[in-house]
Amino acid sequence: PLVSMKEMLEKGKAEGYAIGQFNLNNLEFTQAILQAAQEEQSPVILGVSEGAARYMGGFKTIVTLVEALMEEYKVTVPVAIHLDHGSSFEKCMQAINAGFTSVMIDGSHFPLDENIALTSKVVEAAHAVGVSVEAELGRIGGQEDDLVVEDADAAYAIPEECERLINETGVDCFAPALGSVHGPYKGEPNLGFDRMETISKMTGVPLVLHGGTGIPTADVKKAIKFGHAKINVNTESQISSARAVRSVLEEKPDLYDPRKYMGPARDAIKETVIGKMREFGSSNKA
Ligand code: G3H
Ligand code: ZN
């Protein structure tokens, strides 16, 4: 069923595993992620950025597609449709009105008080209709379509500020920027585990790790131990699907039927997602 993230994240945090947020980019991503979740008997969060929503035909199109595929595939595991990095109160409301079960309001580029005021406004409206909310503090480096943060501007979240934001807004989960990056890492990631532990102990709220692509398994396990119950992955599925398309077309340059190259791309996404679900420990937790 389509549900908010609240319950699945609390269960994950209590039992020591994380639920993957896998971002949608097109039809094949949607198919692959839902099939992976059902086969693995894993709860799943479908992440939709504003850019991806524009590409796929808007929030309503995505909700309708997800509902239809869930019926077609007889999906019984918990599925959340989540607005990723929502840029404004209005965008969050549009997503909720279209049937999204969860939203992120990303006020991380605002001064703390403004971030808190904006996040509170979204929480009030979202909770009134049973929709869960994620917020962010600090700046996650790298690029995810609309969102670009230069290396020099990337910043680790400050624990006292996180505590204030969480207490004053009542968010369901929280993404502290702690050195993770959107897109491929330049070298090894340098996650701030000390702060992570502090923030988790101070607040108790399920934490969210953005930039899940390219984080070594040992760091993933540590992040889960220090309170992370949601890990976002997009780039890794994009890379594996692009690799599949390239290899099919290189091997058969005369091929033109999209099903012949997008089918293998879909298989590659599914394999990537299944691998992450097993790594995060969410398989067989539906
Ligand atoms: O919000 C989405 C994620 O943080 C994706 O990060 O593309 O580096 O896996 P990634
Ligand atoms: Zn992100």
Q: Write out the residue range of the structural domain in which residue 48 sits.
A: 6-280
Tell how far the Cα of 214 is from the centroid of ligand 2, in angstroms: 14
Q: For residue 180, report the distance from its CA to the centre of ligand 1, in Å.
A: 9
Q: Can you say how many angstroms the Cα of residue 114 is from the centroid of all Cα atoms in its chain? A: 24
Any domain includes 94: yes
When divided into structural domains, the chain yields a total of 1
Q: State mean pLDDT over 15-26.
A: 98
The binding-site residues of ligand 1, defined as CB within 6 angstroms of any ligand atom, are: 23, 47, 84-85, 144, 182-183, 210-213, 232-236
Would you say residue 152 has pLDDT above 80? no
Smallest CA separation from ligand 1 atom 6, residue: 211
> Is ipTM strictly over 0.95?
yes
pLDDT for 150? 84
Q: Could you read off the pLDDT of 38-56 as tens digits, one per residue?
A: 999 999 999 999 999 999 9
- The closest-lying atom of ligand 1 relative to the alpha carbon of residue 49 is 1
Q: What is the pLDDT of residues 79-99, one digit of tens each?
A: 999 999 999 999 999 999 999
Give the pairing of strands 207-209 and 228-233: parallel
Q: Report if residue 1 sits inside a domain.
A: no
Q: What percent of the chain has pLDDT over 90?
A: 93
Q: How close is the Cα of 12 to the center of ligand 1, in Å?
A: 20
Q: What is the pLDDT of residue 145?
A: 82
Which of 84, 145, 254, 267 is the catalytic position? 84
Supply the pLDDT for residue 174. Answer: 98
Q: What is the pLDDT of residue 74?
A: 98
The rounded distance, in Å, linking the Cα atoms of 88 and 92 is 6
Q: What's the CATH number where 211 sits? A: 3.20.20.70
Ligand nearest to the CA of 52: 1
Share of the chain above pLDDT 70, in %: 100
pTM: 0.97
Write the pLDDT tens digit of every residue in 170-208. Answer: 999 999 999 999 999 999 899 999 999 999 999 999 999
| Residue to mutate, 234, 237, 239, 272, ligand 1, most ligand atoms under 8 Å from C-beta | 234
Q: Whose CA is nearest to atom 4 of ligand 1?
A: 210
Question: Annotated binding residue at 85?
Answer: yes
Pick the range with the lowest mean pLDDT from 146-150, 164-168, 272-276: 146-150
Say if 286 falls within a structural domain: no
d(CA 258, ligand 1 centre) in Å? 26
pLDDT at 144: 83
Is residue 106 annotated as involved in ligand binding? yes
The residues, ordered by sequence, that sit 6+ positions from 33 with a Cβ below 8 Å of its Cβ are 22, 24, 44, 46, 269, 270, 273
Inside any domain, residue 64: yes
The best mutation among 5, 21, 22, 23 to test binding of ligand 1, ranked by most ligand atoms within 8 Å of the C-beta, falls on 23
The 3-class SS string of 173-229 reads EEEECCCCEECCCCCCCCCCHHHHHHHHHHHCCCEEECCCCCCCHHHHHHHHHCCEE
Annotated catalytic residue 172: no
